[in-house]
Structure 1
């Protein structure tokens, strides 16, 4: 395969992967409750600055879409915390991210640190997300990972 063909194939794969992940967060109406329906509950702010309550999908890696949550089923959602079961789809980036494969990992998701959202101080947003892997987990990941959420 010549160099031009390889470059085209990599570009096409990367664009397809990115479009697939972007569609879940910003495309057709999601199964999440909109803020208008539940203004007193904390919100989860996505990559496009949309405030959501109980989303079924959520992109963790906004820059490249290589980690996302799917099939979220929420058992709790209040000012103290939110808890869901779901799947973390993670790209193994082997041999590099555009050519990598996505693998599913069962996780428990916990949202904490509810505080006023800087962009809309009348709303509260969760400031931290923790993933606890049930069994298998991505290579090099600890059983529990915690990330700050953007505001």
Structure 2
């Protein structure tokens, strides 16, 4: 009985090893490209905490109180001059005051632009401008198309 268990365990282990050895040959080219060396001078967007990000899924716009955040960002491009995403701007309506307010969702197209060297980080450039184009209505009193400087 003991030898059967040992044989079964060895057979399972051999099968697992053989299956694992076959995986790299089956990896699609797109996944292999994802493992390619990183760009030596990547462009980043810097957040409120002075952390660099590439294609973030979320981005805090209101650093002081957290009442405005971009979420569900899906990046269409991340280039040497601009980066473009679609997502949702979650904005606290602050009614009757911010602590009691509700977050409301506004569909938005986000464009990062104007890359510049990031002081203190000689190998990185950061986007310095963010444009928000609301694809439905904008949160009052904001215009449907606004551009802000990123100062972090």
The TM-score with structure 2 as length reference comes to 0.73
Which one has the largest radius of gyration? 2
1:145 maps to what in 2?
Answer: 146
2:89 maps to what in 1?
Answer: 88
1:47 maps to what in 2?
Answer: 48
CA distance in 2, matches of 1:145, 1:39: 32
CA deviation after TM superposition for structure 1 residue 39, in Å: 4.3
CA distance in 2, matches of 1:97, 1:112: 31
Q: Is the 8 A contact 1:41 1:78 kept in 2?
A: no
2:80 maps to what in 1?
Answer: 79
Structure with higher strand content:
2
Number of residues of Structure 1 aligned to a counterpart in Structure 2: 117
| Residues 5-47 of structure 1, C-alpha deviations (whole Å, 9 max, x = no match) | xxxxxxxxxxxxxxxxxxxxxxxxxxxxxxx955422100011
Q: Is the 8 A contact 1:92 1:100 kept in 2?
A: yes
Q: Is the 8 A contact 2:70 2:88 kept in 1?
A: yes
Q: Is the 8 A contact 1:44 1:126 kept in 2?
A: yes
Q: Is the 8 A contact 2:41 2:123 kept in 1?
A: no
| SS of residue paired to 1:114 | strand
Structure 2, unaligned stretches of length 5 or more?
A: 1-36
**How large is the Cα RMSD of the aligned pairs?**
1.7
1:100 maps to what in 2?
Answer: 101
CA distance in 2, matches of 1:37, 1:89: 32
**Which stretches of structure 1, 4 residues or more, deviate above 3 A after TM superposition?**
36-39
Alignment of 1:1-151 (within 5 A): 37-151=38-152
CA distance in 2, matches of 1:145, 1:45: 19
Q: Is the 8 A contact 2:113 2:129 kept in 1?
A: yes
